[in-house]
């Protein structure tokens, strides 16, 4: 699998994020920081997530994406569009309840802007721990199946708190 990276662009308040390769925890700090900047932008109107080049995605990254969808709805009453053309990735998204918080589409718009690479953010082990815990708590909030899926992990993380 290709190592993960995240590309991004902004055009007239519409943000595009493209996740490429095997997207894991190490990219979550950069993604989470980007989301905070995106949502604080005064001209924010919408966000598109492109997973068409995603080969693998971990649950922490999924939790950060769920946070994005929840915040877009809460702050702007906007449902983000998520493009997924790989059946296995789409199956994961649906099983996690993403079809309730995203508009999932299987075709990508040809009108995506030029994308730049999101730089990695350094984080301490404590910050990583908090990211993982927050992401999984967000996933648990999406549906009852996720509660069953991640309950033990969350308990384990809370028991081993830094």
pLDDT tens sequence across 90-130? 999 999 999 999 999 998 776 767 889 998 888 888 988 99
Instruction: Answer for the pair 17, 5: CB distance below 8 angstroms, yes or no.
Output: no
Structure confidence at residue 162 as a pLDDT band (50, 70, 90): low
Q: What is the pLDDT of residues 121-156, one digit of tens each?
A: 888 889 889 999 999 999 999 999 999 999 999 999
Which pTM does this prediction carry? 0.92
Q: Beta-carbon neighbour count of residue 94 at 10 Å?
A: 13
Gap between the Cα atoms of 146 and 141, Å rounded: 8
Q: Beta-carbon neighbour count of residue 6 at 10 Å?
A: 21
Would you identify the CATH topology of the domain 5-159?
A: Transcription Regulator spoIIAA (3.30.750)
Cα atoms in the 13 Å half-sphere on the side-chain side of 35? 21
Residues 6+ apart with CB under 8 A from 111: none
């Amino acid at each position: 699998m290709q190592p993960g990276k995240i590309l991004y662009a902004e055009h007239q308040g519409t943000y595009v994020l493209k996740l490429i390769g095997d997207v894991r925890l190490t990219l979550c700090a950069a993604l989470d920081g980007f989301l905070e900047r995106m949502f604080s932008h005064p001209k924010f109107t919408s966000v598109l997530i492109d997973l068409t080049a995603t080969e693998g995605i971990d649950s922490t990254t999924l939790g950060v994406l769920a946070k994005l969808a929840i915040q877009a709805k809460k702050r702007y009453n906007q449902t983000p569009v998520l493009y997924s053309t790989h059946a296995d990735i789409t199956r994961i998204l649906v099983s996690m309840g993403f079809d309730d918080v995203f508009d999932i589409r299987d075709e990508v718009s040809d009108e995506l802007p030029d994308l730049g690479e999101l730089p990695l953010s350094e984080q301490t082990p404590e910050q990583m721990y908090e990211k993982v815990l927050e992401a999984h708590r967000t996933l648990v909030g999406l549906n009852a199946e996720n509660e069953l899926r991640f309950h033990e992990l969350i308990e384990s993380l809370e028991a081993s708190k830094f």
